[in-house]
Structure 1
Amino acid sequence: MNKLKTLEDYFGHKAFRPLQEEVVDAILNREDVLMILPTGGGKSLCYQLPTLLMEGVTVVVSPLLALMHDQVVALRANGIPAAMLSSMQDMEESRQIEGQLHRGKIKLLYVAPERLTNAYFLNMLHQLDINFFVIDEAHCVSEWGHEFRENYRRLSLLKEQFATTPIAAFTATATKAVEEDIASNLGLQNPKRVRGSLFRENLTIHSRHRIKDGREQLLEFLKSHEGESGIIYTLSRKSTESVAHFLQNKGIEARAYHAGLPTEEKHATYSDFVADRVQVVVATIAFGMGIDKSNIRFVVHMTLPKTLENFYQEIGRAGRDGLEAETLLLFSAQDIVQQKMFIEDLPETPYKQHAFNKLDSMVRFANSENCRHQSIAAYFDDRIEVCGTKCDNCTTTQSEKIDITTAARMLLSTILRTEQKFGLHYVIDVLRGSREQRVLQNGHDTLSVYGIGEEYSKAQWMTIGDKLLELGAVEIGEFKVYRLTNFGVEVIKGAHSIELKKERLAVQKAKPKRKVTYFDDYDAEVYDRLRELRTQIASEKGIPPYIVFSDKTLKDLSNKQPQTKGEMLEVHGIGEVKFERYGEAFLELLTV
């Protein structure tokens, strides 16, 4: 049987999708393969088809039991003998599968990476005729990937134990650095490298600042997806349940899913969702990796993901059938603070700085005015044209833009005058005439650029800095040092003009010559929520709001966002007495 007849008979397709045949041919030629292809691009077929044309069994390493189970069920339904060996099976079932393997009755065997470190299992593999190994979700191999797993790192043993057996590695998300790490760690020998375009033409991407808890925005979004399947991602287990309950009260069939739920409940929710008995699942990232459901019409993130890899993989679960699908990202400054706190808890290793850099990339993407698809592609070292109609930035034309060329040149000049040795916060301190000790010690208060940027708040300058980063006018080096690119030098020389959406900068210029103080620079969204809580407490106590906390205190709270009593006592206007009376309620709001 040839490959085209196999494709039609077993998979129901008359032709290969782009890049599939290239990989199938490489595997049939017994080459090592490394394929990077977006979710929904048809990676699985690339290794499921060739094994049907080869002698022996293919061993597939996959990270999730649920994914392995779904794929085995789907393969068997297509008449392809497949099995999995996992902790889900009892001894008798495992022995039956081993017997089938020895008799050559199984073409695809799915296992978790942990099993390959088991001496008994390895010994059994040496007794089988293995045509090739498959490493699915191969980004898990790399320490620089977003889902590094120690057991994946140990898969280097495959080339040691089975030197002549080819390996085919597949992932949807890998930067060039991660790609090299995968190839090196797995010991791939001159692999056939195939990298598909990251543009998902059926996926429309939106990103918006979250208003309050985002639930009204969510409801508005869901109006256009009535009766359709979708996933809503939240950061905490508690919020999955509260959002699901909220949707249920609005007449939407929704279920919560997180790692803390009983196994039976998780299995039931997963099964009901896949079978279209449940419309919406509200979940932590514990749900969805490799989910075998093609008709997911939307994915919503209620909070900021920690990396662009996570975000891209999660939105990739929508529209795998090739039909139109839509995604929505809601985020706020508080999300960024929370994610940074998670990273701060990591041990002091190079990975910690790497995690901060990844978060910075995610924040820039969320705030970006550039084509969303183009930004994602660029992050993964791909170059594509603007999508035209498949993201909010390309379809929004009514937003008023303002010229920030002068401000951009100020910022770039200050980076240059401070010898490109500092981070953005320091550069902005110089621009705004800060009397910080470090600025004075470095003698930067004598520079011609010192104090010329009082016109904007620090937050506004950060936005301008982000815009320059998005445009490639600056780049971030080691220790978050900002450096000019050739394009940045051209901007200083007046060769380019820079525009920014007016609402993004939320320009509220200070009056001329008025010194901008620390308390004029605050998180307006968090401040508004703090004011609402203050009003509520004041009403309950029958006292004026300012008796609870002054506006200045609320602004300082919005800036520092303390997470403990000790941190809260460092905030302007809060002592032990005020904390004992009102502190806990404000802490609860800030740590949600």
Structure 2
Amino acid sequence: MATKSGKHYAAGKRVWQRPLLKKILKQVFGHTGFRPFQQEAVEAVMANRDLLMILPTGGGKSLCYQLPALMKEGVTVVVSPLLALMHDQVRALKLQGVEAEMIGSMQTPEEIGTVIAKLREGEVKLLYIAPERFFAPGFLKLLKSIQIAMFVIDEAHCVSEWGHEFREDYRRLGVLKEYFPNTPVAAFTATATPEVESDILLQLGLNEPVRLRGSVYRNNLLIRAEPRRGDGRGQLVDFLRRYRGESGIVYTFTRNAAEKLADYLNRQGFRAKAYHAGLTKRLRREAYHAFVHDEIDVVVATVAFGMGIDKSNIRYVVHTRMPKTLENYYQEIGRAGRDGLPAETLLLYSAADAAQRASLLEELPEGPYRQNAYNKLEKMIGFCRSESCRHGQIADYFAERMEACGERCDNCMGDAEHIDVTEDARKFLSALYRTRQRFGKSHLIDLLRGAENRKIMQFGHEKLSVYGIGKERSRGEWEAIVERLMELGALARGQHRSLLLTPVGAEILKGKGRVKIRSDRLRVKERKRKPPRSVPADIVYDKAIFDRLRALRKEIAAKEGVPAYIVFADRTLALMAALLPVTRNEMLGINGVGEVKFERYGEEFLTLLKELSNGEL
């Protein structure tokens, strides 16, 4: 194992220095410095340490293994779940002058043979493969015959059956440590609860790994959620009109819904395509290609689309139905604003979504996994209806604490009316207390509403003083009040989904605390809304100049047959529009412009920027 000594690390036969690392960082990747946690990750990998890194989408995980891969002896093998993602990453690396290849089912035997020959000749620095490739005949033997610098497991949450995207082929990757006990393994994911994090470590058999966890909070994301009116198409179109010409993803629940909604959006004047697992490979490939090359603006998709998508300029993500877990939701909204510029998310939900999700869980066998799934669904339902900070709720789910976000979610923008439901809350808490905290929400609501069902009669609860004292409230209203009490910490979950009174709840029951709830949750009146706001950008630039730079980027991308964001990211163009570089050195000072990309595209952008600097708009 490598040891730290001054400003040097020993990694294999090569001794590297931080100045060299910074030089390659700028020369190849165009970056002048590291983002949070990147340098620690790079140094851990260079020291031949195992690594588990949990960093939100857009945090720069790829750099943490791509940079050391260029400095270490041998091949870095990257396990990734999606062929389209691998293809895009390999293409982007080649444009930066990096020797990267992939082996996947889209390639012919001849193409795979060419890659294998390059591996044997030492002409590959990064090799991208799908997890099932490891178990193809002869592949492990091939890896044993060449020098491996490290293994990288991308989307590592797929290893854990407690995660939201468990894959059996990922689970089998624990054999890496058996076959290559002295080769470091670096695992990366954007999401992992503490339970999933522990499972990743266990299943991959990581040896005293460096563990890095970034904050889940992304201040460039504006998060909104609102009840769906009807089929939600009116709300969706109103939202999309504010982002006409920008890239975005709209998630639906079913394949049929994706196709119908894509057709509808095209009739409304939006450039849209459907994407789901039921389409042929050719149609999925065409939709994906059109989206990443900015030939369409909107992909209407099921969850089959998006994990790890390498497109940085997605400005919005809309869910037309409630996701099944907060992990899924966070992964999916994470595809917006990966370039660090403002992006917005909208979640449309209804009670029917929750019922539909719950009915699917009924098919699971009894046991801890099913109970865990129900708990996750309950968290997702609570998130939709909650009036607490949405960023804070996501952070809490992943065992992180944060202050309210300010104005980066609808709940913190202060645009809702509230009503006092303290007396109703005390009625519910009294019913809970008088039934000895042995029952769940549904039974207690039945008790308050004076239901005459078998369970009420079985326990003699019709004789209690609280029986029927809440008839004036509908079941839906009572459910909202209970959810609010859960948010306030007045209730806790006991065994078999029973509810327990907490010290906070006891204070409210004694009349020493007030409970207020957003009026729209009780459907008292329509919620007032402020005009939509975007997250303030941290770059001030001329939009007309930015648009001219984007137009040039589009021409270059079309000519080279690559997605526009691979030429330069939106954030890099925004910096150009703000700083107006007119010399080679000034251009190289822009974050995102490396020497390789400058040689390829720099002069065309410099020529345009000189014209724009002289006012030739």
Q: TM-score, normalised by structure 1?
A: 0.83
Given the superposition, is the C-alpha separation of residues 433 and 240 from structure 1 closer, same or farther in structure 2, using an over 3 Å criterion? Answer: same
1:327 equivalent in alignment to 2:335 = no
Gaps of 5+ in 1: 509-592
1:277 equivalent in alignment to 2:276 = no
Residue of structure 1 aligned with 2:143, choices 118, 121, 125: 125
SS of alignment partner, residue 7 of structure 1:
helix
Q: How far off its partner does 1:496 sit?
A: 2.7
Residue of structure 2 aligned with 1:24, choices 32, 42, 56: 42
**Cα distance between partner residues in 2 of 1:138 and 1:495:** 47
Residue of structure 1 aligned with 2:229, choices 204, 207, 211: 211
Residue aligning to 1:142:
160
Residue aligning to 2:531:
none
1:184-241 CA distance string (max 9 Å, x none): 1111122211111111111111111111111111111112111111111111111111
Q: How far off its partner does 1:106 sit?
A: 1.0
CA-based RMSD = 1.6
**Cα distance between partner residues in 2 of 1:368 and 1:213:** 22
Residue aligning to 1:500:
517
Residue aligning to 1:313:
331
1:548-577 CA distance string (max 9 Å, x none): xxxxxxxxxxxxxxxxxxxxxxxxxxxxxx
Residue aligning to 2:76:
58
1:40-97 CA distance string (max 9 Å, x none): 1111111111111111111111111111111111111111111111122222222221
* Residues 173-184 of structure 1: pairs in structure 2 closer than 5 A: 173-184=191-202
1:445 equivalent in alignment to 2:456 = no
Residue of structure 2 aligned with 1:428, choices 442, 445, 449: 445
**Cα distance between partner residues in 1 of 2:314 and 2:237:** 17
**Cα distance between partner residues in 2 of 1:83 and 1:415:** 62
Residue of structure 1 aligned with 2:188, choices 148, 170, 174: 170
Residue aligning to 2:306:
288
**Cα distance between partner residues in 2 of 1:473 and 1:447:** 22
Residue aligning to 1:533:
none
Q: Which has the higher contact order (CA 8 A, sep 6+)?
A: 2
**Cα distance between partner residues in 2 of 1:157 and 1:412:** 52
Residue aligning to 2:484:
467
* Contact 1:460–1:507 (8 Å) recurs in 2: no
Q: How far off its partner does 1:110 sit?
A: 1.0
Residue aligning to 2:64:
46
1:363 equivalent in alignment to 2:381 = yes
* Contact 1:336–1:363 (8 Å) recurs in 2: yes
Q: How far off its partner does 1:436 sit?
A: 2.2
Given the superposition, is the C-alpha separation of residues 485 and 166 from structure 1 closer, same or farther in structure 2, using an over 3 Å criterion? Answer: farther
Given the superposition, is the C-alpha separation of residues 495 and 15 from structure 1 closer, same or farther in structure 2, using an over 3 Å criterion? Answer: farther
SS of alignment partner, residue 314 of structure 1:
helix
**Cα distance between partner residues in 1 of 2:283 and 2:349:** 29
**Cα distance between partner residues in 1 of 2:145 and 2:27:** 31
Q: How far off its partner does 1:119 sit?
A: 4.7
Q: TM-score, normalised by structure 2?
A: 0.80
Residue aligning to 1:89:
107
Q: How far off its partner does 1:257 sit?
A: 1.3
Residue identity matched to 2:36: P
Residue aligning to 2:425:
408
Given the superposition, is the C-alpha separation of residues 364 and 31 from structure 1 closer, same or farther in structure 2, using an over 3 Å criterion? Answer: same
Residue aligning to 2:204:
186
Q: How far off its partner does 1:350 sit?
A: 2.8
Residue aligning to 2:614:
none
Residue identity matched to 2:127: L
Q: How far off its partner does 1:349 sit?
A: 4.0
Residue aligning to 1:225:
243
SS of alignment partner, residue 411 of structure 1:
helix
Q: How far off its partner does 1:117 sit?
A: 2.4
**Cα distance between partner residues in 2 of 1:114 and 1:416:** 54
Q: Paired residues, what number?
A: 507
**Cα distance between partner residues in 2 of 1:418 and 1:142:** 39
**Cα distance between partner residues in 2 of 1:120 and 1:66:** 24
In terms of mean alpha carbon deviation, does 474-483 or 197-206 score higher?
Answer: 474-483
Q: Percent identity?
A: 55
Residue of structure 1 aligned with 2:503, choices 486, 500, 504: 486
**Cα distance between partner residues in 2 of 1:159 and 1:418:** 54
